[in-house]
Amino acid sequence: MAAPLISPSILSADFARLGEDVRAIDAAGADWIHIDVMDGHFVPNLTIGPGVVKALRPHSAKPFDVHLMIAPVDSYLEAFAAAGADIITVHPEAGPHVHRTVQAIRGLGKKAGIALNPATPAKTLDYLIDEIDLVLVMSVNPGFGGQSFIASQLRKIEAVRKMIDKAGRSIHLEVDGGIDVGTARQCTEAGADVLVAGTASFRGGPDQYAANITALKGID
Ligand code: DX5
Ligand code: ZN
C-alpha cells in the first residue's frame, strides 16, 4: 500500500501568521495545501476568500487544493482560479448544474473535484466520473475542523475506489474530516490516496509538523 499524499487544511493553522505557517507545513512535507472556503450559508462558518489565496500563493509551490463550500458557487470559480488554485473542488448541492460547474473549472485550466457530504451517495458520481480529476469524500459534515470521523464513510470510500478503477483514468480519491493516524490508515486501506488533515497536521506547533505528517503517512 503506497503512502497517501497529505493535504494539511490551513483551517487549523495560525491565521495571524498564515504565510509563515504555510511555509512551515510545506517544509515539513505537506504534499498539497488544503484551503477551506466557507460562506456562512452553504455551511455554518465563514473563512477566507480569493484575496487570501492570492496572498498565500508566493509562500508555497505545492498544489493549492481549494475546497469551496459556497452556494451558489459558479460566480467565484474564476476568482479562485486567478488567485492560484490548482484543484477546485465543489459540492454537487452548491449549484443547479454541477456538470456545467465542472466544465467551467476545467475550462479555466484547473483540476476539478467533486465533494460528497456524508449523506450524499457515491452514485452522484455516475455521470460525472469521466469529467473529474478528484473525488473528495467528506468524513464529517463540512463547516468546522476538529470533528469526529464518521465511520460509515469507509464504505463510500471503497465504493468510490471501485468506480475510479472502473473509469480507468487517474482520479484522486481524497478524504476530509477527522483524520488522525488511526483513521488515516483505515481510509488508505479503503482506497484513498490523499488525506486532508487540519487538527492532526498543525497539532503541537511548527516543531511538530514534520513528525505529524510522517505519522499520517504511516511511515515509521
Ligand atoms: C471541514 C473542512 C475540513 C476540516 C478538516 O469543513 O472541509 O478540511 O478543516 O479538519 P480536521 O482535520 O481537523 O477534521
Ligand atoms: Zn476541506
**Protein residues placing their CB within 5 Å of the ion ligand 2:** 36, 67, 176
Residue nearest to atom 1 of ligand 1 (CA): 142
Note the pLDDT of residue 220. Answer: 58
Per the confidence metrics, is the pTM higher than 0.95? Answer: yes
Determine whether the shortest distance from the Cβ of 113 to ligand 1 is under 6 A: no
Spatial contact of 135 and 161, defined as CB atoms under 8 Å apart: no
Angle at 119 (CA atoms; ends 161, 53), nearest 5 degrees: 75
Residue 144: Cβ-neighbour burial (10 angstroms; 0-12, 13-18, 19+): middle
Whole-angstrom distance, CA of residue 146 vs CA of residue 78: 30
pLDDT, tens digit (0-9, with 9 covering 90-100), for 73-95: 999 999 999 999 999 999 999 99
Note the pLDDT of residue 56. Answer: 98
Domain extents in the chain = 5-217
The mean pLDDT value of the chain amounts to 98
The superfamily in CATH containing domain 5-217 is: Aldolase class I (3.20.20.70)
- ipTM > 0.90 for the complex: yes
Report, as an integer, the average pLDDT of 97-122.
Answer: 98
Which residue type, as a one-letter code, is found at position 175?
V
Residue 202 has pLDDT above 80, yes or no: yes
Active site residues: 36, 176
- Nearest ligand to the C-alpha atom of residue 45: 1
